[in-house]
Every structure is written in C-alpha cells, then in structure tokens.
Amino acid sequence: MEYWTIALQVIVALLAIYYYINRRYSFWTDRGVPGPKPKFLVGNFLDLFLYGQVNMEKKWAAKYGKSYGIYQGLNPVYTILEPELVKTVLVKDFPTFVNRQVNLNDHEILALNLFNSEDVVWRRIRAITSPSFTSGKLKGMHGLMNKSVDKLCDYFSKAINTDSGNMNIKEVAMGFTIDVIASTSFGTETNANDDRSKKNPFLENGVKVFDFNFFRFVLLFLLPKKFNKWINNETGGDPKVMNFFIDLSREIIKQRRRQTGAKRNDLVQLMMDAFVYDEDLKGFDKLETTEDHDHEKTVEKEHKTGSIKRSLSENEIIAQCIIFFLAGFETTGTTIANVLYNLALNPDAQERLHSELEMALEGVDENSSEHFDIVNGKIPYLEAVIKETLRMTPPVPRLQRRVGTDTYKLNGVTLPKDVTVEVAVYAIHHSDEYYPEPSKFNPDRFMPENKHKLVPYTYLPFGAGPRNCVGMRFAYQELRLCLAKIVRQYKFAPTAETEIPMVYNKIGIVSAKNIQLQ
C-alpha cells in the first residue's frame, strides 16, 4: 500500500508541476498579447538555437508586429519595436526601468559590475565611472590604442609577405581588441596576433571567456541562484576563466597602490582615482553617455562643507575591469571585422573611405592631438561606415529592462513587477520602415545631409537613455583609430572562402565564426 501512496504522491506532484508550467505559459494569452508558442520548460530558447536569433528576430517581427510576448525558460518577456515605446522604456519612464532582467548572476564580484548592479548601487557606480569616459580622459589613451594599431599593421604586413594576405579577419581583429583591452583596462602589454601559437595566459583565458556552453546557459534560467552557485555555475561560463581575470585585476590594483611616480593613463587607474560626492548622486540626467565629440570642459563646483566622497571598493574596481573586457573584446573585434567585410564586398565604398582618410590625415602625426581630433569627428564617411555596419550587425541583438513597479501599463498591456521588457534592436535595425533596403550596405544613410531622415530610437547599437553603454565613446574611438590607419594602408577583398551572405552564430552576439578576406 505504501508504494501506491508514494506513486500517487509523485503523480500528483508531477501534475501540479505540469499545471504550474502551463499556467506560466498562459501569461501572454491571458493578456491578449500575440507571440510564438513556447516549448515545455525551455520556452522559446529552442527556436533560437535551432534557427538562429537573427532569423527568428526578423520572422517574429514580420509575424507579430511591433510588440509581442516570448518566454525565456518559464519567464515571460515583452518585446517592443515601436520607437515611441522604446523611448518610453529607455528614457521617459526610466525610473521604472532602472534595472535589467532579474539578475541571474550571484557572483560576489561580477554582480557588482555596471551591467548587473541594480538601483542605488548601479547609480553610484555609474556616477563614479562615467567621468572616466569623457573625451578628455579618452584622449589620454590615444597613445596606448595607437600602439595596438601598430601591432595590427605589423601583422598585416607579415601576412601579406608570407601567405598572400589570406586570413580569418575576425580572428585577427579579436587579437587587436585583446591588445587594446589588455593595455587600457588591465595595464598589461600583449601581442595577441603574433603570440597566438605561444603560451599567453591572458590570450588563452580571453578567448575562453566566450566559449559558449548551451547547458550551463539554460541552467542559469531554469535553476535558482543558490543551486547554480552550489554547482559552480554562477556565470554560465568556465569559473576558472573568471577567477584568472579577478586575480589578475586584484594583483594590478595592489601594484598600483605600491607604485610611486607617474601614473599609467588607463582605465584601472581612472577607476582607482574616481570618486563622486554624495550630493551629486541625485537624478539620472548626467548618467547618459552621448556621441558628442567635443572635449568636455571641467566645471569646478563648490560642494558643501563635510560632503562625503564616494569611491569604488576594490571588488567594484575589479568588477568594472572585467565587464569592460567582456563588453569591449568580442563586440569591438567583431565590428571591425564586419566593417572590413562590408568594405571588401563594396569596393566603391572602400575607395571612397580611403580617399577621404588620405585627404583628412595627410601629413598629420598619428600620435598628435590633431590626429585624435580629426579621427574622432571630422571624417564623416568614416563615421557613416561604422554606423551603417553597427546598424546591419548590432553586436547585442536585444536590450533588456525590468518593470520596477507592481502594476505598470505599457502599450495597453498591464505588466506586473519584475517582468522583463526587451527592445528588439536587430529587428528594428532591419525594418524597411526605418531603413529602406535594410540588407543593403549603404553608409550614406548616416551622412550629415541625411540625418533628418533618421527616426529617433531606431538606431540602438549602444542602447539609449541613462543606462546606455558607458563605454560607447571608448568603442567608437577604438574603431575610428583602427580603421583610419588600416584602410589607408591596406586594401581588403573577398576570397573564394568568403561567405556571401555572412553566416551568423545562432545565439549570442551578432557575429560570424569565420570571415575570410585577403
């Protein structure tokens, strides 16, 4: 009789779980929101892994319109593509959408970075770190970035002489961005492309950061934080890799504190020196990073007597160093590779960019302030080429925000607290309503004379509003500096192995595994 009782209890428990899951999956139908049908337990993840996120984003937008509901595992996600709704979430009602999705990361250090931190903690960290990314501060890193570009050019020259210049341009571009991040964020000199065959801990661990593990990733969404922590799956990646960068950052900070004399002008040092007064932590109006190229003028402000300075703790500095690496390594390397791919397939655009670069930079010292000023704002076609590439292949296909009040109505749909709202960036960028012939590479869309044709909140490679990418200016500077030099010196062309059109990875950032050029 006991066996029958146990069997009955198990059946009842399974039925209860089944009922609970089905109730979760009625969230959007109960609210009259259209969307793709979820698969048991995994929601709509399986569609992404089978058919690719890029393909599904366009398919869902075509079928369900400018707003629809999907499921990440069991969690409902409201997807928006309408520019006015995007503005509402990212800017107008930002205090309601301060945070991203419910934090899956319970790591004691990584949870402190700008991407994962929340509410007042995020606001304090953002306020402290933002001044490190002004044009004036970034100008001080011009020389460090330039050295990395020189290493890249040396590698290109060697490749031309030894292998006819045929290469996986994405792999090479990633080597360049490793050099930049190592130099500017970790105070470490690398030569990733030349040292690829050698034992280099920074390079080895840097590449492993993005080794995607489907099983670990899904467990982050399906299991409670405490259980993921117990099975050493706090990040969805290899914990040894994260520990390497944590230990490296901690050691660098210790060395800097012992150091006397001139300071290295990099992000580690800027984070260590940064602070903000308590009275300046109110509001969100000064937290958004803009594309303005003008050098900021520092306005000295008198603070109340006894005003308290807030600076970053050691763990918070380490957390920012690691997120700068994660956010700036593959995304920027992929964008450089994508630009060169587009130029190789569009030789007229490549020639036009080469001519404009020659005209603007002829006789200008590459290490001078003049070179920095020209590259960062006075070559419109360079800017247009970069922006059109980021439109076609925005590294991050979706932006996440989370409802912060008990009942919030968006687009007529009542959303309870903690429901995720996502902006479908890739689908917006590929809407022919905003960008005619969206699959066509056309930098002229972003030339100054066509600026009036752009619809606000339809170009979002770095997000928008107070929680947009704090490193946007850093990324643009790195892209401009690199492309300005290599497009002047080298010509890129497709090979017999070049995939046309580009074949993207199914999940993760919008990227191809292999971009063969010569």
Top-confidence residue, 307 or 295: 307
For the range 49-53, what are the long-range contacts, defined as Cβ-Cβ under 8 Å and sequence gap of 24 or more? 49/214, 49/506, 49/507, 50/506, 51/506, 52/504, 52/505, 52/506, 52/507, 53/397, 53/426, 53/504, 53/506, 53/507, 53/508, 53/510
Q: What is the DSSP string of 349-380?
A: HHHHHHHHHHHHHTT--TTSHHHHHHHTTS-H
Q: Dihedral angle at the C-alpha atoms of 345, 372, 268, 90, nearest 10 degrees? A: -60
Structure tokens at 362: 């002829």
At 151-199, the pLDDT tens digits run 999 999 988 887 677 889 999 999 999 999 989 888 788 888 887 766 7
- For tokens 């763990």, name the residue: 315
The answer, yes or no, to whether residue 4 has pLDDT greater than 90, is no
Element (H, E) at 276: strand 275-277
61-86 tens-digit pLDDT: 999 999 999 999 889 999 999 999 99
Model pTM score: 0.91
pLDDT at 61 (0 to 100): 97
Domains contained in the chain, CATH given: 31-517 (1.10.630.10)
| Of 1 and 97, the one with more pLDDT | 97
| pLDDT band for position 295 (cuts 50, 70, 90) | very low
DSSP 8-state code for residue 437:
S
Kindly provide the residue ranges of all beta strands, DSSP E only, lying in 381-508, ordered along the sequence.
Answer: 399-402, 407-410, 413-416, 420-423
Distance in angstroms between the alpha carbons of the first and the last residue of the chain: 75
- Cβ count within 10 A of residue 14: 10
The Cα 169–Cα 426 span in angstroms is 23
Q: Is 328 exposed, middle or buried (0-12, 13-18, 19+ CB in 10 A)?
A: buried
pLDDT score, position 412? 95
Report which residue type is found at 181. Answer: I
Of the listed ranges 179-193, 303-317, 442-456, 461-475, the least confidently predicted one is 303-317
Tokens 């200008």, residue located: 364
Cβ contact 166:516 at 8 Å: yes
Question: Do 101 and 417 touch, CB atoms closer than 8 A?
Answer: no
Between CA 335 and CA 466 the distance in angstroms is 24
Residue with tokens 């960290």: 125
Whether 57 and 422 have beta carbons less than 8 Å apart is answered as: no
Say which residues have a Cβ less than 8 Å from residue 163's Cβ, sequence separation at least 6: none
- Assess whether pLDDT exceeds 50 at residue 296: no
Q: Are 133 and 473 in contact (CB under 8 A)?
A: yes
Give me 314's structure tokens.
């050691």
Q: pLDDT digit string (tens) for 377-408?
A: 889 999 999 999 999 999 999 999 999 999 89
Task: Name the one residue in this structure whose structure tokens are 């089978």.
Answer: 50
Residue 208 banded pLDDT, cuts 50, 70, 90: confident
Identify any residues that bridge with 517 across adjacent strands, giving them in sequence order: 167, 494
pLDDT of residue 192: 87
Q: How many CB atoms neighbour CB 474 within 10 A? A: 26
Which string of DSSP letters, residue by residue, matches 117-142?
Answer: --HHHHHHHHHHHGGGGSHHHHHTTH
List, in sequence order, every residue forming a beta bridge with 168; answer none if it has no partner. 516
Q: Average pLDDT of 438-457?
A: 97
Q: What is the mean pLDDT of the chain?
A: 87
CB under 8 A, 24+ apart: contacts of 161-169: 164/518, 165/518, 166/495, 166/516, 166/517, 166/518, 167/516, 167/517, 167/518, 168/514, 168/515, 168/516, 169/337, 169/340, 169/341, 169/492, 169/515, 169/516, 169/517
pLDDT of residue 227: 64
Rounded-to-10 torsion of CA 388, 392, 397, 401: 40
Cα dihedral 122/124/125/130 (nearest 10): 110
Residues 231-275 pLDDT 10s: 666 666 677 888 888 999 999 999 888 888 778 888 889 899 988
